[in-house]
Every structure is written in C-alpha cells, then in structure tokens.
C-alpha cells in the first residue's frame, strides 16, 4: 500500500517557466512533509519542508503548498533553471511516535529545457 | 564532518556472501536512519537509531539484515547471505535528534549482488 504517491514519473518544463510537482498521501497521521532533490549517483538533498499546521512554506525559488483536506502537496519552482533537472522525491512522516521515519514517493524526474 | 559519508560507494558481491556497509553521520547528530532504494522505487525505511535507545528495526526486510551503531556515531549495516533482490542503493541519513524532522542523506552505497 503506497502511502505517498507521485503519479507523474516525469515532467518537462522550459527554462524560466514554473515547475509544479505533485504529491498525494493517504495516511492522515502524517504531520510533516518534505521535498528532496536527487541527482544521479548522489544522495537525496533536502530542499524544503512543511508542517501540517501550515499551508504554505517558501524558500527562494521553491514553495511548498499543503492541502490537508485533499491530502495533497505540491512543490513550485519559479523560475525553473536547467540545474533544477533532477529526480524530486516527496516524503512524509508521522510525529508522536518514537521514530520519525520518512515514507517516500517514487519520485518525479524533472527536465528543464534551456 | 561536513556531511553524512558512506563507504564503500559501490560494492559488487556474489550471491551468498556477507557484506558490510558503513555510515558516518553528521557530527553531533544523534538520530541515524538507514534506507534503501531499489530500481524504480522510492526510498524504503530500514532501521533507526536514536542515542542509546533501542533501535527501531521494523523496516528490516529479513533476519539476514542487521545494523549496529557503536559509540553513538558510526553505523554498520550488515547483510548476510546476500541475494540478488538485495541489490539496491543503501542510503544513510542523520538528524540532530528526533525533534529535528528533516533528515540529511549521505551519497549512498550501490550494492550489486551477482
């Protein structure tokens, strides 16, 4: 049972335009959400996170939106740059337990075309 | 150190052999996680260490997998009698403590079982 879903395996965007990556989750106990970027042969790099008490968090070109009622979050990258081309993973965790293990989606490959 | 380090970066082994994978977390981080990423999949939680507490081993796929963390720092993941389905990238992550929800990943060890 996939608790975190990224239904788009790939996305292609022109440089300078907005990239929107989507993520859906099923577990209502999740209270913290993260986005990671991964280049080939490297570990995931933390990008941005959001707590369930918020619906938006912004950091430079990156903004994460959370819609709790729809169990949906999205990552917006504006403006997109060729260096943003990578696999983006959505992850979630449920606080209150002893382990803050992350549950990951399967990733979306973003290609930013110059 | 500056980041999470893992060794070796690549490991090729024959089916039935034992392997050890090493993780050095960020200095001062008390929480340490192991994940693996199989081909085309998201990251899958394996095990979690927090300080001197008993580890959360709930993600280990079989009793051939074990991990230890000596001195609250370096961790070793051991896979006994490796099978071809163990082939994956094994990733280690750390966070300052369990209240810090964002985890920082190492570059991973790519394990190939022939």
Report the distance separating Cα A106 and Cα B114, nearest Å: 25
Give the per-residue pLDDT at B72: 76
Give the per-residue pLDDT at A98: 66
- The mean pLDDT values, 10 residues at a time, for chain B of 114 residues are 90 98 94 91 91 89 94 92 96 87 93 96
Of chain A residues 69-88, which have a CB less than 8 A from chain B?
A: none
CA distances A26 to A31, A54, A93, A96, A108, Å, are 12, 18, 12, 18, 18
Report pLDDT digits (tens) over A18-31: 999 999 999 999 99
For chain A, percent of residues with pLDDT exceeding 70: 97
Neighbours of B113 (CB within 10 A): 19
Report the distance separating Cα A48 and Cα A30, nearest Å: 16
Nearest-CA distance from B66 to chain A in Å? Answer: 17
Give the per-residue pLDDT at A41: 84
Touching check for A89 and chain B: CB below 8 Å? yes
CB pairs under 8 A between A and B: 71
Burial of A113 per CB tally in 10 Å (0-12, 13-18, 19+)? exposed
Residue in B with minimal Cα distance to A6? B42
Give the per-residue pLDDT at B25: 94
């Amino acid at each position: 049972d996939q608790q975190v879903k990224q239904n788009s395996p790939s996305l292609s965007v022109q440089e300078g335009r907005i990239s929107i990556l989507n993520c859906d989750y099923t577990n209502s106990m999740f209270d913290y959400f993260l986005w990671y970027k991964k280049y080939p042969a490297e570990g995931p790099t933390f990008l941005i996170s959001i707590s369930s008490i918020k619906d938006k968090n912004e950091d430079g070109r990156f903004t994460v939106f959370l819609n709790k009622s729809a169990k949906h979050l999205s990552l917006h990258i504006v403006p997109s740059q060729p260096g943003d081309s990578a696999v983006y993973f959505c992850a979630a965790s449920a606080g209150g337990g002893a382990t803050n293990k992350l549950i990951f989606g399967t990733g979306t490959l973003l290609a930013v075309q110059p | 150190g500056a980041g999470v380090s893992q060794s070796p970066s690549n490991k090729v082994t024959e089916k039935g052999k034992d392997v050890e994978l090493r993780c050095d977390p960020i200095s001062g981080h008390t929480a340490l996680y192991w994940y693996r990423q199989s081909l085309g999949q998201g990251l899958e939680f394996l095990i979690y260490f927090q300080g001197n507490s008993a580890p959360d081993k709930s993600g280990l796929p079989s009793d051939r997998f074990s991990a230890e963390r000596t001195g609250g720092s370096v961790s070793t993941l051991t896979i006994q009698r490796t099978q071809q389905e163990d082939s994956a990238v094994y990733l280690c992550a750390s966070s300052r403590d369990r209240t810090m929800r964002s985890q920082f990943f190492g570059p991973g060890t790519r394990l190939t079982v022939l």
